[in-house]
Amino acid sequence: MSVVAARPYQIAGVSIARHRVSGLVYILVAALIAVTWGTVEPGSESRFDLNASGVSMTLPPLVLPSATVIWGLAGICAFLGAIQLTRGFGARRGLVLASVILIVVVTFLVWAASGRSMNLVGVIQATVVKATPLTFAAMSGVLCERAGVVNIAIEGMLLTGAFVSAVVGSAFGPWIGILGAALAGGLLAWVLAVLAIRYKVDQIIAGTIINIFAAGMTAFLSARVLTEVPSLNAPQRVSAIAIPVLNDIPIIGPIVFTNNIFVYGMFFLVCALHVGLFKTRWGLRVRAVGEHPKAADTMGIDVLRTRYLNVIMGGMVAGVGGAFLVIGATGRFDRDMTAGRGFIGLAAMIFGAWTPIGSFLASLVFGFADSLQARLSVLNVPVPSEILLMVPYIVTIFVVAGLVGRSRAPAADGRPYEKE
The structural domains of the chain, ordered by start, are 10-115 (no CATH), 121-403 (1.10.3470)
pLDDT score at 371: 81
Q: How confident is the model at residue 11 (pLDDT cuts 50, 70, 90)?
A: very low
Residue 81's beta-bridge partner residues? Answer: none
Q: Return the percentage of the chain with pLDDT > 90, whole number.
A: 63
- Residue 327 to residue 177: CA distance in whole angstroms: 8
Find the helix packing angle between 281-291 and 303-323, rounded to 10°: 110
Reported as type and span, the H/E element at residue 62 is strand 62-65
* Whole-structure pTM value: 0.89
pLDDT score at 407: 67
Q: How confident is the model at residue 329 (pLDDT cuts 50, 70, 90)?
A: very high
Inter-residue contact 165 to 226 (CB < 8 Å):
no
Inter-residue contact 72 to 106 (CB < 8 Å):
no
Burial tier of 151 (Cβ tally within 10 Å: 0-12, 13-18, 19+): buried
∠ CA 163-165-168, rounded to 5°: 105
DSSP state of 339: T
DSSP state of 15: E
Between residues 98 and 215, the one the model is more confident about: 215
- Residue 307 to residue 196: CA distance in whole angstroms: 10
Is the per-residue pLDDT at 9 higher than 50?
Answer: no
SS3 9: coil
Q: How confident is the model at residue 381 (pLDDT cuts 50, 70, 90)?
A: low
What average pLDDT does this structure show over 283-309?
95
Lowest mean pLDDT among 123-132, 321-330, 407-416: 407-416
Inter-residue contact 67 to 44 (CB < 8 Å):
yes
pLDDT score at 8: 38
- Residue 183 to residue 167: CA distance in whole angstroms: 13
Q: How confident is the model at residue 377 (pLDDT cuts 50, 70, 90)?
A: low
What average pLDDT does this structure show over 369-387?
70
Residue 55's beta-bridge partner residues? Answer: none
- Residue 407 to residue 400: CA distance in whole angstroms: 10
What average pLDDT does this structure show over 17-37?
87
Is the per-residue pLDDT at 297 higher than 50?
Answer: yes
For the stretch 339-359, pLDDT in tens is: 899 999 999 998 888 999 999
* Beta-sheet pairing, 117-119 with 258-259: unpaired
Q: How confident is the model at residue 327 (pLDDT cuts 50, 70, 90)?
A: very high
SS3 245: coil
Q: How confident is the model at residue 158 (pLDDT cuts 50, 70, 90)?
A: very high
Inter-residue contact 134 to 348 (CB < 8 Å):
yes
Reported as type and span, the H/E element at residue 220 is helix 203-221
Find the helix packing angle between 385-403 and 356-378, rounded to 10°: 160
Is the per-residue pLDDT at 14 higher than 60?
Answer: no
What average pLDDT does this structure show over 3-29?
63
Inter-residue contact 290 to 147 (CB < 8 Å):
yes
- Residue 345 to residue 293: CA distance in whole angstroms: 26
pLDDT score at 146: 96
Residue type, position 367, single letter? G
Is the per-residue pLDDT at 88 higher than 50?
Answer: yes
Inter-residue contact 111 to 40 (CB < 8 Å):
yes
SS3 45: strand
pLDDT mean across residues, the chain: 88
What average pLDDT does this structure show over 283-293?
96
Q: How confident is the model at residue 382 (pLDDT cuts 50, 70, 90)?
A: low
Inter-residue contact 193 to 199 (CB < 8 Å):
no
For the stretch 210-258, pLDDT in tens is: 999 999 999 999 999 999 999 999 999 999 999 988 888 888 888 999 9
- Residue 77 to residue 33: CA distance in whole angstroms: 9
φ, ψ at 62 (rounded to 5°): -95, 120
Q: How confident is the model at residue 3 (pLDDT cuts 50, 70, 90)?
A: very low
